[in-house]
A and B are shown apart, each in its own frame.
Chain A
Amino acid sequence: MAELTSIPRLLARNSRAYGARPAYREKEFGIWQSWTWSEAEAEIEALALGLLDIGLSPGEHVAIIGRNRPQFYMAMVAVQSVAAVPVPVYQDSVAEEIAYVLDHCGARMAIVEDQEQVDKIIEIRGRLPGLSEILYVDKRGLRKYDHTHLTPLEQVQEMGRASKDRHEAELNRRRDGIGYDDTCVMLYTSGTTGRPKGVVLSNRNIIETSKASAEFDKLTETESVLAYLPMAWVGDFIFSIGQAYWCGFCVNCPEQTSTMYENLHEIGPTYFFAPPRYFEERITILTIRMEDAGAIKRGMYKWFMKLASRVGPRILDGKPVGVLDRVLYAVGNVLVYRPVRNRAGMSNVRVAYTAGEAIGPEIFDFWRSLGINLKQLYGQTEASVFITQQPDNEVRADTVGVPSPGVELRIAESGEVFYRSPGVFVEYYKNAESTASTKDAEGWVATGDAGFIEEGTGHLRIIDRAKDVGKLANGALFAPKYVENKLKFFPNILEAVVHGADREYCTAFINIDLTAVGNWAERNNIAYASYQELAGHQQVLDTVQAHVEEVNRSLATDDMLSGCQIHRFLVLHKELDADDGELTRTRKVRRKIIGEKFHDLVAALYDGSERVSTETEVTYEDGRKGSIKATLEIREAKTVPVEVKTLEDVVEAAE
């Protein structure tokens, strides 16, 4: 057996070993359609031959732009089969962002989903001399386009099948020539600062990481996952290609982005990944639904959820629990927990992960108390995802787990976390300078996060982004993300941005959650026409103020961060949006850009004014720009007086 040193080789192995098992499913026309591993192999080979036929050369880059669909996963492997490099791109990127990526990697071809994406590429085509072909999946609306360099993917497959005799030898030669250290995929990091960087990951990076992480959680070919997170994100590549090909399990694709919840429910995956935001959202929806339910159901739900939060996590971790509680929990399981798990599509989940941001302890425990094995992991693109993860039965909300198999950790004197592993990326494409400043000669990579390893358990705890951690003017430690996460645990608060570095005190921008607050408004007969109007409503401000004050009380009890209490805040007049550059495509806050863009609001938070008028430019989905004007009220929040503790005090106390 050839060594399993590339994705195409894993494909051949899967086709032999699991030929009749499903590799991909996608719901189309209301029915789950599936491809077995041997069918997938045939599809991929046809496309690979077709790509040879239209002249794709080794080492060239091919952009992949679309939502999670089997065609795109297969296209990525087809591209790899001819020794070229797939570059998945965020499908919701505006033309300008796509232009940067395609230009930077010198993409030769782009495989895109539909008219929307074709239009974007055509718009920027003049600036991309290297781009010779656009291939597309969905032909709708494209009939009248000039098809000189625009071809349906199916047709390329046809050409591949027709030219098999001519190209088969070349395909075999290229496929067999792929080395373990050759590039597997290139992924652009969203980057909370500056331009995206192209992270080059080798076959070794992907396969070693997939192998180790699959063994860690004992994943097998019988798992099933739902692929719904952006294909351009490293996590999706590891779960839906790396681990899926290593284990030979099935990747299910939703019918549409908006049918994800329903499809999740239908598929009932065994292995599931979602960002904290997802778990928060589901609780928000569940809470809203329960508020609309009858009194008996509501009472039952409240009573049993209380029981679950007390004993659920202990039962899950196999810790001692009284007989009565166990019996009651079993009753609750039939009446409440199982139906909730079922609705959430979590009936079959054996392992679930959350990562990307810190998750609120309340949210984390909510899901665990229902009997779902939800764990945290910590990773980044440069590590092929895995840096640390939580083993079964060692799960806590405040750590991100122990180093993943094969990963070494080191904490620098500055507090920054460094790691070294087989998954460490090769380089940033065409950016030797950044590569050198991130990865040293011995292969240690800086995470950019500050943290420490907990004594006794060996778990890693992350404090904040290293560059965001700072001090207030009085020397107290300032960790904005920690405070923001506390705020975001309230269903009414979607996003928060805390300011305070080198200032007298902390202040915050708040984004309300339109789903939760909108539902509240509906139930209380409060009419509103827009996000902006609801965000400025007095009662909404009162509610947010109560939340902020609760966070302050909680912060006051924290040794390290009691100085970060929020003195003044405002509710923003617009939702922070990736299209306006305020968030990354993975929805992380871009602190610097927000600080610059809303500098007038920040100034007002610190100059004592009670109102501030502002005008903000917004970008619509199709790239057009407009502006909104607003007058915002600034509120003062009650704080709890505390003794100021500086960073040095904290470090001393820890020693």
Chain B
Amino acid sequence: MNALAGNYTTADGRKIGGVMMEMKNITLKFGGVTAISDISFDIHEGEIRAIIGPNGAGKSSMLNVISGFYHPQEGEVWFRGKKRPPMKPYEVARQGVARTFQNIALFDGMSTLDNIMTGRLTHMKAPMWRQALWWGGAEAEEVVNRRQVEKIIDFLEIQHIRKTPVGRLPYGLKKRVELARALAAEPKLLLLDEPMAGMNVEEKEDMSRFILDVNDEFGTTIALIEHDMGVVMDLSDRVVVMDYGRKIGDGTPDEVRKNQDVIDAYLGVEH
């Protein structure tokens, strides 16, 4: 296998670093149902890693394991060279993992700006009462955070909706705001749960460009789940394919495309 060993360079000349996160023999069960069974794969620094698979394959469960929302019964999660003990999702977030959700989870009544500001929560040190009163360092801290948020607003080209309540925005823009909020946390690893779901072609093209630009500009490592095969194959450096909770393929888009198990899982196979 070419890529799985360690550092490598992508076709378009990006240098991919060492292993950032490693999943070792993960098994996740809900009662009698095994959602994920004995899966191992890794995510390298700076790469775009996709997890794909048919409905019910266990992709979202996998993302939830990475984000610390689910705790696997078996297996280990290694992050930046250390084995991760069972953690609360907010503790994982503090380690530099941010995510978006499949069915948008924004605060509808709040403006785009305020929604994105919530993404800076992990970077705010002043206690709540100080923030409420703008006491001590709270104001200076807010200025610093606002500056970072404005950079992201500029980056994602959403200046025109800065003060619009999120509930009034069309779907495609909400998705972009969600991405902005995740980026506001300045994550080392960004998890995207079906970033293109329900989008039209033009919105998908925009979102793809933003994902590539985020990876290129901020060097953010990205793990994404996606249904749209075309998008995945174009965007990602390496792909994990899941089916019925098992891993059936892992490699570059080209390798995966030629993998017989993957073809069978997607197209069905005669028994």
- Residues of chain B within 8 A (CB-CB) of A255 are 159
In the bound assembly, the distance between CA atoms of A538 and B153 in angstroms comes to 42
The reply to whether the CB of A362 lies closer than 8 angstroms to some CB of chain B is: no
A259:B216 contact, CB within 8 angstroms: no
A218 CB-CB contact with B under 8 Å: no
User: Is B29's CB within 8 Å of the partner chain A?
Assistant: no
Tell whether A140 is near chain B: CB-to-CB under 8 Å: yes
Q: Is A28 interfacial (CB 8 A cutoff)? A: yes
Contact of A141 among B14, B146, B157, B209 (CB under 8 A): B209
- Bin the interface of chain B by size: 10 to 19
Q: Closest Cβ of chain B: how far from A326's Cβ, in Å?
A: 38
A258 to B153, CA, bound (A): 14
* Interface of chain A residues 10 through 67 with chain B (CB within 8 A): 27-31
Q: Which residues of A contact B155 (CB under 8 A)?
A: 140
B159 touches A144 (CB 8 A): no
Nearest to B150 among chain A residues (CB) is A29
| A144 and B14 contact, CB distance less than 8 A | yes
B217 to chain A: which residues have CB within 8 Å? 140-141, 143
Chain A hits for B14, CB < 8 A: 144
Tell me the bound Cα distance from A27 to B160 in angstroms.
12
CB of B16, distance to nearest CB on chain A (Å): 14
* Residue A609, interface by CB 8 Å: no
Q: Which residue of A is nearest B12, CB measured?
A: A144
Interface majority SS (helix, strand, loop, mixed), chain A:
loop
A133-162 contacts to B, CB under 8 A, are: 140-141, 143-144
Chain B residues lying within 8 Å of A29, measured Cβ to Cβ, are: 147, 150-151, 153-154
Query: What chain A residues lie within 8 Å of B212 (beta carbons)?
Result: 141
Nearest chain-A residue to B217 (Cβ)? A140
- With A28-B154, A141-B209 as known contacts, state yes or no: A256 contacts B216, CB within 8 Å: no
With the chains together, A81 CA to B1 CA distance in Å?
Answer: 58
- Are A140 and B150 neighbours in the complex by a CB distance under 8 Å? no
Which chain B residues numbered 160 to 217 have a C-beta less than 8 Å away from chain A? 160, 162, 209, 212-213, 216-217
Q: Closest CB-CB distance, B46 to chain A, in whole Å?
A: 13
Report the minimal beta-carbon distance from B147 to chain A, rounded to whole angstroms: 7
Chain B residues, CB < 8 A from A262: 160
Q: Chain B contacts of A30 at CB under 8 A?
A: 146, 150, 153, 159, 162
Check B13–A144 contact: CB distance below 8 A: yes
Residues of A within 8 A of B157 (CB): 256
- Asked if B160 and A256 sit within 8 Å, CB to CB, the answer is yes
Type the 1/0 row for A255-270, where 1 means its CB is closer than 8 Å to any CB of B: 1101100100000000
Residue of B nearest to A620 (CB): B202
Q: A29-B154, A140-B155 are in contact. List 11 more A-B contacts (CB 8 A).
A: A27-B159, A140-B213, A141-B209, A141-B216, A141-B217, A143-B217, A144-B12, A144-B14, A144-B216, A256-B160, A258-B159
Query: 18 A-B contacts, Cβ less than 8 Å apart?
Result: A27-B159, A28-B154, A29-B150, A29-B154, A30-B146, A30-B150, A30-B153, A30-B162, A31-B150, A140-B155, A141-B209, A141-B212, A141-B213, A141-B216, A141-B217, A144-B216, A258-B160, A259-B159
